[in-house]
A and B are shown apart, each in its own frame.
Chain A
Amino acid sequence: MDEIDEKIIEIMTGDARTSFRKIAKELDRSPDTIINRFQRLRDAGDIRGSTVVVEPRKIGYEGMAAFHIDASTSGGSKTDLTSILKTIIKMPNIIVATKTVGDHDLLAIGVIHDFDHLMRLGKEIAAIPGIKNIQTAIWAGGGEVCPRYFII
């Protein structure tokens, strides 16, 4: 990755819809160069995609929650974490999910309408086979959203 790649990333982090022509002009390169570079960054997986940043509070979400999840062990081996993870990320309102190493096995972050909704979401996760324990952290609002890497 060189300076041009870094500039493209910087500009598009601020506005993913910036036209390639405009980026080209700013970097004093041809639009084709920018398009090729962008494609390369996408193909390599450096850029995972692009998205719109929505303000959760404006669409009826009062807060967010982080679910720290411990999986149960059966017959001396851990439950299949990957399949639990895949189930969780498909749940409405869960926007980030990952395996973790440390105090817990999995982490899921979701957006929360209200307390009723939080309780329901917690119950839904708890109902997934293979989950032993959930510790929840909640916070009001969408936090200081910083979507450079994740959509939180």
Chain B
Amino acid sequence: MKFDETDIKIIRNLQRDARTNFADIAEECGVSVDTIIKRFQRLRRHGVVRGTTILLDPRHLGLDCPASLEINVEPVHVADVVDQMRRQPGVVFCTPSMGMQNIFAVVVLKGMNELNTLIEKTKTLPHVKGVKTSIWVENILLCPENFELEGLKVEAS
């Protein structure tokens, strides 16, 4: 699949606001609305775009305790522990990682008590050697537009 200026403009517009009218994007690109619709469908079909979503502020939803965990596990058991962590309520992201620790996870919980419970539980999982915690405070800054799109080739799929 070839990736051109129009594709980039579609993604850039939708990164800022997923509800942007295709008519507005079409005008910006100097093409028809149909073209934008077809391009968007093509981006989805090729898996470049996985979908659109709204971003929620966890604290507004009573989830006052977003945090990241770095978990140290005996290397051969990383996949096991990742599986178990992903099943814990409040764990929104968990992946094997390389660095000082070998699992990185992001959790969103109601408060310190819930976080503490999760950490204690994590520590008791078999093969877990240690957990480091960073609680995310104040404004969490997000910038979906920081993906570099210009000059990139999209892999054929």
Give the interface segment out of A23-31, A41-49, A71-79: A41-49
A129 adjacent to chain B (CB < 8 Å) = no
Provide the A39-58 mask, 1 if CB < 8 A to any CB of B, else 0: 00000111111111111111
- Bound CA–CA A37/B32 (angstroms): 32
20 A-B pairs with CB atoms under 8 Å apart are A46-B56, A47-B55, A52-B52, A54-B11, A54-B144, A55-B49, A58-B47, A60-B154, A60-B155, A92-B146, A96-B142, A100-B137, A137-B99, A137-B100, A138-B99, A139-B97, A147-B53, A148-B56, A149-B58, A150-B140
Interface residue from B97, B106, B137 paired with A152 (Cβ < 8 Å): B106
**Which chain B positions have C-beta within 8 A of A14?**
51, 53
Residues of B whose CB lies within 8 Å of any CB of A are 3, 11, 14-19, 46-58, 60-61, 66-68, 70, 86, 92-101, 104, 106, 108, 132-144, 146-149, 152-155, 157
- Bound CA–CA A97/B137 (angstroms): 11
CB pair B56 A98 closer than 8 Å? no
Interface residue from B57, B98, B100 paired with A45 (Cβ < 8 Å): B57
The verdict on A48 contacting B56 (CB below 8 Å), with A58-B155, A89-B143 known, is yes
The verdict on A16 contacting B142 (CB below 8 Å), with A103-B132, A143-B95 known, is no
Tell me the dominant secondary structure on chain A's binding face. mixed
For chains A and B in complex, what number of residue pairs have CB atoms within 8 angstroms?
Answer: 223
Interface residue from B19, B86, B134, B153 paired with A50 (Cβ < 8 Å): B19
Q: Which 8 A-B pairs have the closest CB atoms?
A: A50-B18, A137-B99, A100-B134, A52-B14, A16-B18, A16-B52, A102-B134, A89-B141
Interface residue from B18, B96, B136, B141 paired with A51 (Cβ < 8 Å): B18
- Bound CA–CA A97/B139 (angstroms): 9
- For chain A residues 94-152, which have a beta carbon within 8 Å of chain B? 94-104, 107, 110-111, 113, 135-139, 143-152
The smallest C-beta distance from A105 to any residue of chain B, in angstroms, reads: 9
CB pair A85 B141 closer than 8 Å? yes
Q: Which residue of B lies closest to A8 (CB)?
A: B54
Residues of A whose CB lies within 8 Å of any CB of B are 1, 9, 12-17, 44-61, 66, 68, 85-86, 89-104, 107, 110-111, 113, 135-139, 143-152
The verdict on A58 contacting B60 (CB below 8 Å), with A16-B54, A99-B137 known, is no
The verdict on A51 contacting B98 (CB below 8 Å), with A46-B57, A89-B143 known, is no
**Which chain A positions have C-beta within 8 A of B93?**
143-146, 150, 152
